[in-house]
Structure 1
Amino acid sequence: MTRPKAKFVAAALATMLAGGMAAAETREITIGTGSASGVYRIAGETICRLLNRDTARHGLHCQTRGTGGSIHNIEAIRSGALDFGIVQSDVQYLATKGQGQFKDSGPFKDLRAVFAVYPEPLVVLARDKSGVARFEDFRGKRFNVGNPGSGTRTTIDMLLAAAGMSTNDFSRASELSPDEHGKALCENRIDGLGYVVGNPAANLQAITKACNAHLVPLTGPAVDRLVVETPYFAYTTIPGGTYPGNRDAVRSFGVVATFVTSAKVPNETVHAVASAVFEHFDEFRKQHPIFAYLHPMDTVHSGLTAPLHDGAFRYFRERGWIRRGD
């Protein structure tokens, strides 16, 4: 073999080996989101896209997985089936305590918060001409309480208990997913629905436009008790005009969508994810109207009821957003 040809073969072999090593070193990570029409999907896909821009540098490749929602994501992270997930702050809290739907599986001691994403009030819609003006008016009517395993279902169950109600107070309590409940409302198969979601949500915009559904305010003693007694609930207002045909602002209460992981996920991985999001935060905020008014400091200090992951803590301390003793 001639020397030039030998050099060419050696160079080609080196390139192949280097490429093989790079491919072998790339670590796949998964983010659990929610329904196909929800904001969780948009948030998760945006985080993955921002992270995947620098795969060659940090060796991480991200993909999202549609799931049944917050509770599913928590349990999948616990089992190792997911690396990260987007969950409601109340579900995050219950998981750390081993309460509610986590009573049988016990406290998730390795659950770690990474950052808050956006506020999520409970939005209640009623069918046009249903005669519903307040939540208690759904007694004796058909109401969709949300699919089992979702954060929506958890919040509605808590509201019912605070109001001295149960699913037995409805003539039918359906368990449709967010991808199904709009069609059911417009086809007069249910009289109302609840959905914990960031606003404006395309899912709810379609419903209010297609069949004149109206927002139902969530106020009164039951809501007051929930907000006062639980650390992860807060009052919120859905601005007038957020949804077609709903000109007036409507009071509600809600939680915060949070991004979580496990203590078993390496610090370097979590640091890289946080860096990818916050180094391109302006771009992140452009991906959905609900992200438009987010501020980095809010994402560090709102709704994080699980301990902060060490990798996230290191990144936020580097940015000066938290102090060493926080």
Structure 2
Amino acid sequence: MSTGSCFKKLAAVLCLLGLTASGCQPADSGSSAAVTQKEQPIQVLTIGTADSGGTMYPVGRAIAQVINENIPQMKINIGASNGSLSNVEGLRGGQIDLALVSADVAYCAYRGEDEFSGKPMKNLRAIGAVYFSCSNWITKDSLNAVYVHDLLGKRVAVGPENSTTDLSARIALQVVGINSNNTKLENYGLGSGSKALGEGKLDAVHGMAGVPIKAMQDLAKSVPCHLLRYTDEELNEILDDNDQYRKAVIPAGTYYGQKEDVPTFGVKCVLCVNEDMDEELVYTITKILRESVEDLDELHYSMESMKDLDFVTKDLPVPLHPGAERFYNEN
């Protein structure tokens, strides 16, 4: 992984943060002229992710790894959470410094809509999109279901409460005529839900994540399973009602035994920060991520999308942070 190209900007950032050695210290500070790197204070930041069975957690871990490797005086910790909504509130309250947030949630948070009605987060900013999530419904072959609407009256895992998986599942289920009054909707994580499906405790599991979702892939290798579909009409209605959703396809072969493409919908996942995060720091983080796209792809397959700069910077749900915007404009 290349590190030298980051250090010119990094020096300015670390001086600003008070993280460098004697070159940024007052001459009369009384400290030794030869201050070792080991003695320097560490800037600790936290990135909000999600359920470890999905995509946000390993993606957050990959982002933390490349930043930690490129900024010796910085450490990014990984914070597990219920996902996008929790991460937005974590940014708002200052409990976390960076957050992975699905574009639909970021859109509503910035504008004060839906779950954020009456409490817009106008200081929410983007560094860029990092991967694309798809709506995945998996069931065992023994259920003989083809479409999502076939789950009426069944036991269905919709995801951790108030997670992106949960919210997108309920939006889709409403379109296909399913709700908590006519179907048992349960809040399982992707890992625990897939395990429960395999044990016969559930009939289907939803995941909104980069594909393949590891927990579902593992299940498909051990139990005969298949993905459920939306009809064209259902899919169009879901897309018409949600500005940030996009048509997507889960290609044949994504999951073990999957013989056909499965049309679905998806949404970008965006790395977000508060507007007041230091501009030079955000510039350097953005630079590191852009220069590390090959490494990020190796660390997690879903981050291959970051190789496309248009994917990273266009059609974002919130404005770019000034530090990120300056980097993209200069490069």
Structure 1 and Structure 2 fold alike (TM over 0.5):
yes
Query: 2:231 is paired with a residue of what secondary structure?
Result: coil
User: Is the 8 Å Cα contact of residues 238 and 249 (structure 1) preserved in structure 2?
Assistant: yes
User: Is the 8 Å Cα contact of residues 27 and 60 (structure 1) preserved in structure 2?
Assistant: yes
Equivalent residue, structure 1, for 2:20? none
State the 1:231 CA deviation. Answer: 2.1
Equivalent residue, structure 1, for 2:110? 96
Using the aligned pairs only, state the percent identity.
26
Equivalent residue, structure 1, for 2:205? 193
Residue 62 in structure 1 maps to residue 62 in structure 2: no
**Of 32-41 and 182-191, the range deviating more from structure 2:** 32-41
Aligned-partner Cα distance in 1 for 2:215–2:310: 26
Residue 270 in structure 1 maps to residue 282 in structure 2: yes
Counterpart pick for 2:163 among 142, 150, 155? 150
Equivalent residue, structure 2, for 1:5? none
Alpha-carbon spacing, 1:20–1:192, altered in 2? closer, same or farther (3 Å):
closer
Residue 114 in structure 1 maps to residue 127 in structure 2: yes
Counterpart pick for 1:259 among 266, 271, 274? 271
State the 1:61 CA deviation. Answer: 2.3
Residue 123 in structure 1 maps to residue 141 in structure 2: no
User: Is the 8 Å Cα contact of residues 98 and 108 (structure 1) preserved in structure 2?
Assistant: yes
* 1:314 aligned partner, one-letter code: R
User: Is the 8 Å Cα contact of residues 44 and 74 (structure 2) preserved in structure 1?
Assistant: yes
Instruction: Report how many residues are paired.
Output: 302
Equivalent residue, structure 2, for 1:10? none
Aligned-partner Cα distance in 1 for 2:140–2:313: 37
Deviations 1:181-235 (A, max 9, x none): 0111011111011110101221111111122121011233232022134221111
The correspondence of residues 26-105 of structure 1 with structure 2, limited to 5 A, is 26-56=42-72, 59-103=73-117
The correspondence of residues 230-245 of structure 1 with structure 2, limited to 5 A, is 230-245=242-257
Equivalent residue, structure 2, for 1:14? 32
Aligned-partner Cα distance in 2 for 1:85–1:299: 18
Equivalent residue, structure 2, for 1:324? none
Alpha-carbon spacing, 1:219–1:297, altered in 2? closer, same or farther (3 Å):
farther
Query: 2:248 is paired with a residue of what secondary structure?
Result: strand
Aligned-partner Cα distance in 1 for 2:209–2:38: 43
The correspondence of residues 197-216 of structure 1 with structure 2, limited to 5 A, is 197-216=209-228
* 2:308 aligned partner, one-letter code: P
Aligned-partner Cα distance in 2 for 1:51–1:303: 25
* 2:252 aligned partner, one-letter code: G
Q: Which runs of 5+ in 1 are unaligned?
A: 1-12, 320-326
State the 1:21 CA deviation. Answer: 6.7
Alpha-carbon spacing, 1:303–1:119, altered in 2? closer, same or farther (3 Å):
farther
Alpha-carbon spacing, 1:166–1:292, altered in 2? closer, same or farther (3 Å):
same
Q: Looking at CA atoms only, which structure, 1 or 2, has the larger radius of gyration?
A: 1
Aligned-partner Cα distance in 2 for 1:159–1:41: 24
Query: 1:37 is paired with a residue of what secondary structure?
Result: coil
Alpha-carbon spacing, 1:20–1:135, altered in 2? closer, same or farther (3 Å):
closer
Aligned-partner Cα distance in 2 for 1:151–1:68: 8
Aligned-partner Cα distance in 2 for 1:21–1:275: 26
User: Is the 8 Å Cα contact of residues 218 and 253 (structure 1) preserved in structure 2?
Assistant: no
Runs of 4+ in 1 over 3 A off after TM superposition: 15-21
* 1:291 aligned partner, one-letter code: M
Residue 311 in structure 1 maps to residue 323 in structure 2: yes
User: Is the 8 Å Cα contact of residues 131 and 305 (structure 2) preserved in structure 1?
Assistant: no
* 2:32 aligned partner, one-letter code: A
Aligned-partner Cα distance in 2 for 1:210–1:303: 39
How high is the TM-score relative to the length of structure 2?
A: 0.85
Aligned-partner Cα distance in 2 for 1:213–1:65: 32
User: Is the 8 Å Cα contact of residues 121 and 255 (structure 1) preserved in structure 2?
Assistant: yes
Aligned-partner Cα distance in 1 for 2:284–2:34: 27
Aligned-partner Cα distance in 2 for 1:42–1:78: 23
The correspondence of residues 260-299 of structure 1 with structure 2, limited to 5 A, is 260-292=272-304, 294-299=306-311
State the 1:17 CA deviation. Answer: 5.2
User: Is the 8 Å Cα contact of residues 137 and 206 (structure 2) preserved in structure 1?
Assistant: yes
**Of 302-311 and 129-138, the range deviating more from structure 2:** 302-311
User: Is the 8 Å Cα contact of residues 184 and 190 (structure 1) preserved in structure 2?
Assistant: yes
Cα RMSD for the two superposed structures: 2.0
* 2:142 aligned partner, one-letter code: K
User: Is the 8 Å Cα contact of residues 47 and 276 (structure 1) preserved in structure 2?
Assistant: no
State the 1:18 CA deviation. Answer: 5.7
